[in-house]
Amino acid sequence: MNRPAVAAQARAELLLLVRRGENLIVTMLIPLGVLVFFTRLDAVDTDGRPLEFLVPGVLALAVMATAMVSLGIATGYERRYGVLKRLGSTPLGRPGVLAAKTLTVLGIEVLQAVLILGAATLLGWRIPGGGIVVAIPLIAAGTVAVAGIGLLMAGTLRAEATLGLANGLFLVLLFLGGMAYPLERLPRALESLATLLPAAALSTSLRSALDPGTGWSVSAVVVLVVWAVAAPLAAARRFRWEE
């Protein structure tokens, strides 16, 4: 793999992503807005510990916004206009294209994490010792899982369909992800469904890592790992480089 070419492509994609105002709103402002709004409003019963509940959920929300919505929509339109086909035929190659997109997503997520954790600290949250170290592989697994979903949509649907479905799925997973509203307060059927989805698995696992008072949910970690394996495999198998 041509590493300099991959790095150059990743920088170019990062600049393009930053310049898209709608992407900035989804990837940066919405997670921060959810954090500040629900912390100040105190609209959810979190046993008097809103930040301990919200910070892991907002990190999971940021991963979804970047790795599923932004990546999926951008890739869908690149596929529609033949950009992917042209890039794949260059010395960068198709593996290089995918590697560059992965680096772009990770770069945005690092910036998101800094902003979210910085805002949470200003609001009074304290980073637990060792919690961030444990959270990193969980975020990586969540990124792989939801990026696989985004690329599956982008590689099999028309660009307009990817746009609508990605945004719609984002809203559904926001509601069923245990990010801003506790899963146990959902109707029993919805709670059971939510526990099988990657968003809830990621937010629950991150809450265990970042809140020492929360016990570990082995089932959430297992669900997250299953999605991290299954979604990319499905995307790789069904992805078509031309619309």
What pLDDT is recorded for position 7?
Answer: 81
pLDDT digit string (tens) for 66-122?
999 988 998 998 888 888 888 777 777 777 777 788 788 888 888 889 999 999 999
pLDDT higher than threshold 70 for residue 58: yes
CB atoms within 10 A of CB 192: 11
| Six token digits for residue 123 | 């609001």
Please name the helix (run of DSSP H) or strand (run of DSSP E) that holds residue 136, with its range, or none: helix 131-156
| Confidence grade of residue 161 (pLDDT, cut at 50, 70, 90) | very high
Question: Which one is predicted more confidently, 109 or 47?
Answer: 109
What pLDDT is recorded for position 22?
Answer: 66
For the four alpha carbons of 191, 193, 195 and 201, in that order, the dihedral sign comes to negative
pLDDT higher than threshold 70 for residue 43: no
What pLDDT is recorded for position 101?
Answer: 81
pLDDT digit string (tens) for 195-221?
999 999 999 999 999 887 777 889 999
